Amino acid sequence: MARPRKPKDEPKSANPQNAYIEGAGLMVEERITETLRRNFMPYAMSAIVSRALPEIDGFKPSHRKLLYTMYKMGLLSGARTKSANVVGQTMRLNPHGDAAIYETMVRMARDNESLLHPYVDSKGNFGKVYSRDMAYAAPRYTEVRLEPIAAELFADIDKETVDFTPNYDNTTTEPTLLPATFPSVLVNANTGIAVSMASNVCPFNLAEVCETTIALIRDPEHDLLSTLKGPDFPTGAFMLYDEQEMQRIYDTGRGSVKLRSKWSYDKSANCIEVTQIPYSTTIEAIMEKVAELVKDGRIREISYHRDETDLNGLKYTIDLKRGVDPDKLMQKLFRMTPLQDTYSCNFNILIAGTPRVMGVREILEEWIAFRTECIRRRVYYDLHKKMDKLHLLEGLQRILLDIDKAIRIVRETEEESEVVSNLMIGFGIDEVQAEYVAEIKLRHLNREYILNRTNEIEQLRKDVAEMEDILHDVKKIRKIMTEELKKVAQKYGQPRKTLFYDMTDEPEVTPEDDTPDYPVNLFLSAEGYFKKITPQSLRMSGEQKLKEGDVITQQQEATNRTELLFFTDRQQVYKTRAGAFDDTKASVLGDFVPVKLGFDEGERVVRMVATTDYSGFLLFCFENGKVAKVPLSAYATKTNRKKLANAYSGKNPLVQVLYIPEDCDILLRSSNARALVFSTAMLLPKTTRDSIGVQVMTLRTRAKLEYAAVVTEETAAQVMKYIVKNIPAAGGMAKELEIAGQMTL
């Protein structure tokens, strides 16, 4: 990086428009790390701390600015106002533009259904969280006000319960946090992407969160799973319950939950109706995936599908063909489409300006500490208000002793400015009390008024003593918090929308193979090009197209469901299916296997093995004359692994890999023109894939094994004289064995 600098010898221009810019003209070198530190780090910190991550009150700055603006506009009560009015007022706190502000409002609105407990009471088209294409109306057409639950966010905000900070142009102030009376951070979903970190907080049921918080206040070792059953999403659906995964999320703040759509079968219409989908997907994404599967022929049970969503809510209808089992079809759709989806949890929350990934227990503990401070500040504020009032009334009480004297002092004082000081002297009260007495109206200078006011003194003294006691006893603060949580749960709690589905109640169903099955011919070239050609296309084709110098090394008849194992020169095997490759023609080069399967750099194919049941054996023939006999079943895996390391021994160069369905005769030939034929029955199968093998051919100094092949019926007569009964053996001279070089591998 380089920065320009101004030449020193150039004179300054008298015209400001032509004046030299500082640093213009010359370039100096600068370390890229310094440029990043100066330019990128402030942006990254701003995105993390002031934009993308929620804080302990459950809100990002954009949410907080919008809600506080609506609160100051008096929208907690009364009629709705146009959304455009709110957006305009919010720009006094949020300078990021009206579009961003309105989009924030949309997601907080009841009609959008993004939040379990929406904070904005909306009227008009606000779109739907479960629809990607259902656009929300412009702000001039919609109306909003705050939901009643929003009152819990601003409870006692005017009593200095939270800090306030100046807005971006110092014309007003805004709260740094909202003093929410319930753990809103866990009640509504919150997603944010910052720089190098992100946050994804799933929503929980309000009543369960309040109950869990109360239990945690009483017992810090409380079992969270006993009261907080699991996430509760606005779109409903079923959650596949996994207690271990839930415990992991509660402990670490990371993990994932599986959500499954709610559906029913209409027998009369022979169709499936989906009414709830996972929170993490949209109806359009589901329909596109289903359409793709139907087009590819992987799902043949569906005749038609359509979106029937209306004012009554979401409805996705799938018409079935005659005789289709709806349960089996839905199991297949759950496996292959977003009708069953995963919601990833990442509870990354700002605590005192520092991002922290916390479990549910730690989040609630932080919220309890935050709320404790809010209540303490509220009590402290009320205490000083009552103490001020008590102080004034105690001054008024002294007037009760001699009202006539007070009147006489005021009447006989010649200058107005001396009234307060004369009252202070006459009754022994301070300036604040004297000022209060001096401002009393003449009509109130009677015993009844003064007695009525001074009757409050005893109650105020009790209140002050009680508040001072609360400030010094955290247990009493926690008791206040508990009562507030109970009221919130009773007033705003609602039944769960997301119900649990126990996987143990579902019978185990082996996933059906949806790959179309038909005959194919497989070809592999020496350079690693693969072709899958149907018999019909092969009959109509001409010569195979290959790169210059390339040749076909393997050709085999198989089916589209055949499993393929590609062994490489790095002792690795890559597993796939014939169906993973497109059907092609002889007139094209085909797929380059190292690129298709993601080989390591410079890795090459040495052998392709095709199987449907992993029966038979593989023979690995090495230059030192050793042969390893490994069951093909050693390469079968229960999991869908695509790459296996240590596929064969790398201690000696590999000459050939041979697949044999059963024991047979094998021809070996060395570089010093010796050959032998042995039966593979002499070799015991090895349990380990990377076995170094058994010595079969004894080699002289500098000689090495250079060729291996299966003896076929056509070549058996020509190699009969090389058969050995025991191994290892040196074999016989085979200079005349020309046909061996032509044998098919």
Nearest CA-CA partner of 173 in 185, 187, 163, 161? 163
Could you tell me the pLDDT band of residue 366, with boundaries at 50, 70 and 90? very high
Instruction: Say how far apart CA 374 and CA 367 lie, in whole Å.
Output: 10
Lowest pLDDT segment from 42-51, 160-169, 189-198? 42-51
Task: Considering only CA atoms, give the Rg of the chain.
Answer: 41
Instruction: Flag whether pLDDT at 50 surpasses 90.
Output: no
Output the pLDDT for position 3: 47
Taking alpha carbons only, the member of 479, 295, 301 closest to residue 379 is 479
Q: What are phi and psi of 462, to 5 degrees?
A: -65, -45
Domain ranges of the chain: 2-45, 59-179, 262-338, 373-492
Predicted confidence (pLDDT) per residue in 537-572, tens digit: 888 888 888 998 899 999 999 998 899 999 999 999
- Cα gap 425→730, rounded to integer Å: 130
Whether the pLDDT of residue 234 is over 50: the answer is yes
* Beta carbons within 8 Å of 328's beta carbon, 6+ residues apart: 509
Pairing of strands 499-502, 238-241: parallel
C-alpha 726/C-alpha 736 separation (Å) is 23
As given in the structure block, the two tokens for residue 284 are 């359009």
pLDDT at 24: 64
Mean pLDDT value of segment 151-171: 94
The pLDDT tens digits of the residues spanning 452-507 come to 887 888 889 999 999 999 999 999 999 999 999 999 999 999 999 999 987 665 65
Q: Which two tokens stand for residue 65?
A: 């600015």
124 has a pLDDT exceeding 50: yes
pLDDT > 90? residue 414:
no
Find the mean pLDDT for residues 112-137: 94
Q: Which of 616, 623, 626 has the alpha carbon at shortest distance from 685?
A: 616
Under 8 Å between Cβ of 34 and 55: no
Residue with tokens 């169903």: 509
Nearest Cα to Cα of residue 130 among 118, 112, 142, 108: 112
What are the tokens at 524? 């592999």
Residues marked active site are found at 141
Report the alpha-carbon distance of residue 678 to residue 436 in Å, rounded. Answer: 118
Across the range 580-593, mean pLDDT stands at 89
Residue with tokens 């009471």: 121
Q: Is the pLDDT of residue 176 over 90?
A: yes
Give me the amino acid identity at 721: K
Name the least confident of 271-280, 309-318, 504-513.
504-513
Q: How far apart are CA 89 and CA 70, in angstroms?
A: 8
More confident residue, 575 or 637: 575
pLDDT band at 604 (very low <50, low <70, confident <90, very high): very high
Residue 396 pLDDT exceeds 90: no
Whether the pLDDT of residue 173 is over 90: the answer is: yes
One-letter amino acid at 273 equals E
Q: What is the pLDDT of residues 624-634, one digit of tens each?
A: 999 999 999 99
Name which of 25-29, 69-73, 92-96, 192-196 the model is least confident about.
25-29
Ranked by mean pLDDT, the top range of 17-21, 383-387, 512-516 is 383-387
* Confidence (pLDDT) at 492: 96
The encoded tokens of residue 712 equal 């076929």
pLDDT for position 738: 53
Q: Cβ distance 182 to 217 under 8 Å?
A: no
Mean pLDDT across 603-625: 93
Does the structure show a pLDDT above 50 at 235? yes
Contact indicator for 668, 696 with CB cutoff of 8 Å: yes
297: left (phi over 0), alpha (psi -120 to 50) or beta: left
Mean pLDDT over 326-338 rounds to: 92
3-state secondary structure 197-241: CEEEECCECHHHHHHHHHHHHHCCCCCHHHCCCCECCCCCCEEEE
Distance CA 464, CA 696 (A): 100
Measured between alpha carbons, how far is 635 from 673 in angstroms, rounded to an integer?
34
Residue 629 carries which side chain, given as an amino acid letter? K
Cα–Cα distance measured from residue 148 to residue 434, given in angstroms and rounded to the nearest whole number: 44
Distances (CA, A) of 624 to 91, 209, 266, 664: 80, 70, 70, 22
Per CATH, the number for 262-338 is: 3.30.1360.40
Q: Which fold has domain 373-492?
A: Topoisomerase; domain 3 (1.10.268)
| Statement: residue 379 has pLDDT above 50 | yes
What pLDDT is recorded for position 632?
Answer: 93
What value does the mean pLDDT of the chain take?
89
What is the fold of 59-179? Answer: Topoisomerase II; domain 5 (3.90.199)
Q: Name the region of 253 (left: φ>0; alpha: ψ -120 to 50; beta: rest).
A: left
What span, in angstroms and rounded, lies between the C-alpha atoms of 352 and 185?
Answer: 15
| Position 514 confidence tier, pLDDT thresholds 50, 70, 90 | low
Please give the residue that has the higher pLDDT: either 640 or 466.
466
Query: Cβ distance 336 to 299 under 8 Å?
Result: yes
Residue-wise pLDDT for 695-719, tens only, equals 999 998 889 999 999 998 888 888 8
Asked if 82 contacts 234 with a C-beta cutoff of 8 angstroms, the reply is: no
How many angstroms separate the first and last alpha carbons of the chain?
59
Burial classification of residue 708, based on how many CB atoms lie within 10 Å of its CB (0-12 exposed, 13-18 middle, 19 or more buried): buried
Residue 702's pLDDT is what? 86
Q: Which amino acid is at 261?
A: S
Report the pLDDT value the prediction gives residue 44, as an integer from 0 to 100.
83
pLDDT at 138: 95
